[in-house]
Amino acid sequence: MDLLKKYWEEKTLLCILLLAFLSRFVAVVFAKGFGMHDDHYLIIEAAQSWVDGTDYNNWLPMSDGNAGPSGHSFFYVGLNYIFLTVINWLGIDNPQIKMFFIRLIHALWSLLVVYFAFKIIEKASDKKIATKAGLLLALLWFFPWISVRNLAEVVAIPFLMWAVWLVNKKDKLNVFAKEFFWAGILLGMAFSIRFQVALFIVGIGIVMILRMQWRPILIMALGFITSVFILQGIIDWILWGHPFAEMLVYIQYNIDHSNDYIVSSWYTYLLLIGGILLPPVSLFLFTGFVRIWKKYLLLFLPTFVFLLFHSSFPNKQERFVLTVIPFFIIAGVLGWELLVRESEFWKRRKSFIKVSWIIFWSLNFIVMPFISTHYSKKARVESMVYLSRYLKNEPDKLKYDQSYYLMVENLNASSTKLPAEFYLGHWILAYDVNATCSVDSVYNYWVVKNPDWVPRFILFEEDKKLDDRVANMKKYFPNIEYETTIEPGFIDKLLCKLNPINANQVITIYRNKDFYPQKIKTD
């Protein structure tokens, strides 16, 4: 124990990074699937389809059905495309193995957040406070799971943290101040992954203007413009004939559709942060965050500007605020710990603070194992993994010509969920049968006119009135037969019960015996 204690004292940052990696590696192994629509369909499905010679979202100008720029940056999805191309070249074809390596890369990438946060606070105060903040960022209950997802909001954080460290560590300015140029490069890369981080960057710029750092801000702006022009301007220029086409469409889309998604009160994100950081410790962090606004403006203002805008903007999705959570934590910990040291009131209440932290870490470690091993969207992923066994003997051309048909049915909903075709290993067409689009209309419009367009499998989402729905489907496809039922994971079921908007239903698969007379043998 003495040896461990000595090593912890001498190599504190390394120990924290090791804890962070171990917690994230659990998620790498067990947290399969995807978190939400954007981290899968806008990144993985798009990138893999390019590798396979097609274009899932019709984003590219040469694709049939493309109507021009759609408002999506090609930088991050392009990085995934390069990686998946290399994986394909190595002969790895199993989607689950591909995603294992992608999660591992993201887990390693997220360690930079812990590293630079520790360095920032150690420089601002001392090692003791840096250790507290580092442990929070390493072991907070949702960080391991969210760190291995393909969310642009999260992938951009290490770039921002690195840039803040470069700006923060430069006490004396030399003639060139290369740190500010590289900070600008990093900020441009973060912006090219997630356009909304422009708000955070504006906050950094305001701080530097208030400090009258004219030369550094010009150098940083040069780095930012260089980075953005290469990663956004040139790519869009090649694809669309003029720079920043995707960015301009994205801005216009968000203005036009600001009320089309989740609209809630201005204090929504404050409640969210207060909840996920677990009270009463979250209240400590709020207090600390507000308290340091003047002394540590570089930590406070960019986060404040980001939260202020998103709290004012009508569209409020939980993932939007993830980008600044680490900055809120390091600012909150720094401000709170300094307050406790200086305040006579809190010095007399050390027992309350200690008990609060004990409760916090106890709750954190109770929840953390369930979240870190959460196989998200399990039913949707595993249904495609199951069906991929049937396609192993199909012609390779199926990967490219979308000549394979599925039907997804849920008469209890206004729409069905998109099949996760990445896990199927082929690019197919899926009929959507729901409360507003009956099987009769789909059958007569598509199948009657095109006899070859008969679905090979029919996937029934959720099991409400399933017998009646199957009987109705057999009027059109009489030779369908029950194949299997894919259950969602425990957390998926819980989230669906808590809020039906999290539609993680049971999926029941029926096989069309006209194509597959016998059920495939499974291991």
The predicted model scores a pTM of 0.94
Query: Which residues of the chain, if any, have pLDDT below 50?
Result: 175
Q: From start to end of 358-404, where are the E strands?
A: none
Per the rule left: phi > 0, alpha: psi between -120 and 50, beta: everything else, 92 is: beta
95-142 pLDDT tens trace:
999 999 999 999 999 999 999 999 999 999 899 999 999 999 999 999
Contacts of 242 (CB under 8 A, 6+ apart): 236
Contacts of 189 (CB under 8 A, 6+ apart): 75, 159, 227, 231
Cβ neighbourhood burial of 73 (10 Å; 0-12, 13-18, 19+): buried
Rounded to 10 degrees, the C-alpha dihedral 280/282/284/287 comes to -130
pLDDT of residue 402: 56
Give the closest residue to 81 by CA, choosing from 53, 58, 52, 48.
48
pLDDT of residue 175: 45
Residue-wise DSSP of 289-312: HHHTTTTTHHHHHHHHHHHHHHHH
| Residues across the chain | 523
Give the C-alpha separation, 467 to 483, whole Å. Answer: 14
